[in-house]
């Protein structure tokens, strides 16, 4: 079976005071994603008599009114042919961990019991799932309670989000954004769930509360037969899902012919793995994990770098735009609109949108290039309750087919920047909008002199052309035989050299039957 790879942000929380923005959120998602499971957030910060703000659930009538708006909107989106799912966040007493609850049909009702087992019972026999997130916080204080887990109701878990990684407690990507929730602990991690014998898949999603589909906060991929709600739901309940920390690393994994999330028998103990990865940049390594322990590492770094690139080649590179004036110095420089285009002497094969906020458009595309419009924002976010992270760049990952000695033309705000393909394959480059920052400095502070360029460079809008990666660096296929003596699970963790990660749902292997 050849599955479609469908992408989404499965954790975008819209609040009561944002309901008027629902159409805006929807349009943003449609630009970037293949479907959308919205997660209404029925909580607010309630002040106590003495003024301390505590998070509490909104009054029932407020939630009910908002829920009907979500229902009507979801029905309309479905009628238009867009696969949208109704959902809400459940927290209960905080003793079992936070879960997002989603419905296949549009007739679902919110339930808010205090315990997870009661939530499962409330939806018994219905097409409803509850996906746990930010697992690795303190048990009893909003971390995942594996003692009460139900793998049918919660077939997969959020292994990564804007909070960080809940995979384990000794790896990178720490959970340090929401400092008030404390550091992560090993007692509640995803690996603990597997260790206890649960068949549970993984995905990544933003936990976004201001803009849905934030590139830097992770997203999920679903392996579905078709782009319909029913096919996506089938993929969910069979755990055919995986997650990425940022860019859309494409992964296919089979164990004895069974895709990720599945269950397979290996009577002779042989698990034949077929792996295919198409990265967005150079892949450093593929880690094969058996029961959370590294079984084998396929190291890709060092296997392609000495290859001489001649003639027509395929490659990828990332364009980032943003940075800009320190808003403590230039208080009105919150936003910038960019207009640009890329022209190639060959073929533009693919464009991945690396978008973190509103205001981004691909205006026109052709085989030889594209025109785009980008809006970047400054941020003073401190990581406090529900605040966005300090997102400052927007951009694209381009896949190009062209001669290694050809020249690409990048135009930004009317100025052309020739990019020699061979030079871009050697190194990244950063360009500053010097004329703009010098004009801003004169208008704000008058004519100044300094023995170095700090006053201008530190406040200049910039764009970065990342080092290009040839196809041999990001395209990998491999076959491995894993000899298993007992039942277990096999999954992949894929690292790119730029730090992006992909995690696949395990395949659960039964030995001897």
* pLDDT per position as a tens digit, 64-96: 999 999 999 999 999 999 999 999 999 999 999
Mean pLDDT of all residues belonging to the chain: 96
> What is the reported pLDDT for 380?
56
* CB-side neighbour CA atoms (13 Å) of 122: 16
- CA distances for 354 relative to 44, 357, 376, 381, angstroms: 30, 10, 12, 20
> What is the reported pLDDT for 388?
58
- Alpha carbon of residue 272 to chain centroid: 29
User: How do strand 475-483 and strand 488-496 relate by DSSP bridges?
Assistant: unpaired
- CA distances for 74 relative to 69, 107, 131, 444, angstroms: 8, 11, 20, 48
Nearest in space to 183 (alpha carbons), one of 199, 160, 203, 163? 163
Nearest in space to 382 (alpha carbons), one of 178, 146, 141? 178
Look up the pTM and report it.
0.96
Q: Specify whether the CB–CB gap between 260 and 223 falls below 8 A.
A: yes
**How confident is the model over 412-425, as pLDDT tens digits?**
999 999 999 999 99
- CA distances for 103 relative to 33, 37, 127, 206, 281, angstroms: 19, 9, 6, 19, 36
> What is the reported pLDDT for 389?
59
What the block records as the tokens of 97 is 């961990």
- Tell me which residue has tokens 């809400």: 88
> What is the reported pLDDT for 400?
98
Q: Is the pLDDT of residue 383 over 90?
A: no
What's the rounded mean pLDDT across residues 338-358?
97
Q: Is the pLDDT of residue 402 over 80?
A: yes
**How confident is the model over 143-193, as pLDDT tens digits?**
999 999 999 999 999 999 999 999 999 999 999 888 889 899 999 999 999
**How confident is the model over 23-42, as pLDDT tens digits?**
999 999 999 999 999 999 99
Alpha helices in 86-134 (DSSP H): 116-122
Residues 6+ apart with CB under 8 A from 346: 312, 368, 400, 401, 402, 403, 406
Neighbours of 128 (CB within 10 A): 19
Q: Specify whether the CB–CB gap between 137 and 465 falls below 8 A.
A: no
**How confident is the model over 303-347, as pLDDT tens digits?**
999 999 999 999 999 999 999 998 888 988 989 999 999 999 999
What the block records as the tokens of 300 is 């890709």
What the block records as the tokens of 216 is 């830097």
**How confident is the model over 435-493, as pLDDT tens digits?**
999 999 999 999 999 999 999 999 999 999 999 999 999 999 999 999 999 999 999 99
Q: Is the pLDDT of residue 408 over 60?
A: yes
Distance CA 166, CA 177 (A): 13
| Residue 386: band (very low, low, confident or very high) from pLDDT cuts 50, 70, 90 | low
């Amino acid at each position: 079976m050849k599955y479609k790879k469908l992408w989404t942000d499965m954790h975008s929380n819209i609040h009561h005071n944002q309901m008027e923005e629902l159409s805006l959120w929807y349009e943003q998602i449609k630009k970037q994603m293949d479907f959308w499971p919205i997660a209404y957030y029925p909580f607010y910060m309630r002040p106590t008599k003495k003024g301390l703000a505590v998070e509490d659930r909104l009054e029932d009538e407020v939630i009910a009114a908002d829920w009907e708006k979500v229902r009507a909107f979801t029905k309309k989106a479905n009628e238009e042919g867009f696969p949208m799912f109704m959902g809400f966040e459940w927290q209960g007493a905080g003793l079992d961990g936070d879960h997002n609850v989603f419905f296949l049909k549009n007739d679902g009702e919110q339930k808010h019991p205090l315990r997870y087992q009661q939530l499962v019972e409330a939806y018994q026999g219905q097409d409803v799932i509850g996906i746990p997130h930010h697992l690795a916080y303190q048990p009893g204080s909003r971390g995942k309670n594996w003692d009460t887990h139900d793998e049918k109701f919660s077939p997969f878990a959020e292994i990564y989000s804007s909070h960080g990684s809940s995979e384990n407690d000794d790896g990178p990507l720490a959970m340090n954004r929401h400092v008030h929730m404390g550091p992560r602990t090993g007692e509640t991690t995803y690996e603990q769930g597997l260790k206890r014998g649960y068949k549970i898949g993984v995905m990544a999603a933003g936990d976004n509360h201001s803009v849905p589909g934030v590139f830097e906060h992770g997203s999920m991929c679903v392996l579905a037969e078709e782009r319909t709600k029913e096919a996506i739901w089938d993929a969910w309940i069979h755990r055919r899902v995986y997650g990425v920390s940022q860019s859309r690393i494409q992964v296919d994994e089979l164990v004895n012919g069974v895709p990720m999330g599945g269950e397979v028998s290996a009577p002779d103990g042989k698990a034949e793995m077929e792996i295919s990865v198409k990265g967005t940049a150079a892949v450093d390594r593929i880690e094969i994990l058996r029961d959370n322990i590294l079984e084998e590492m396929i190291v890709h770094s060092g296997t392609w770098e000495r290859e001489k690139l001649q003639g027509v080649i395929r490659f990828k590179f990332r364009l980032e735009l943003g940075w800009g004036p320190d808003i403590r110095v230039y208080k009105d420089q919150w936003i910038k609109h960019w207009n640009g285009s890329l022209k190639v002497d060959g073929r533009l094969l693919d464009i991945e949108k690396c978008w973190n906020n509103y205001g981004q458009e691909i205006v026109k595309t052709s085989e030889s290039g594209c025109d785009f419009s980008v809006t970047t924002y400054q941020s003073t976010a401190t990581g406090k309750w529900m605040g966005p992270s300090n997102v400052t760049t927007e951009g694209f990952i381009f896949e190009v087919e062209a001669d290694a000695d050809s020249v690409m033309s990048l135009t930004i705000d009317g100025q052309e920047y020739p990019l020699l393909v061979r030079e871009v394959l050697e190194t990244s480059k950063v360009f500053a909008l010097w004329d703009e920052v010098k004009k801003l400095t004169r208008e704000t502070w008058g004519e100044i002199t300094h023995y170095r360029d700090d006053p201008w460079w530190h406040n200049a809008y910039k764009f970065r052309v990342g080092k290009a990666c040839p196809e041999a660096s990001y395209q990998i296929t491999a076959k491995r035989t894993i000899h298993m003596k007992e039942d277990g699970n096999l999954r992949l963790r894929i690292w790119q050299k730029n730090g992006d990660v992909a995690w696949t749902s395990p395949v659960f292997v039964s030995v001897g039957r």
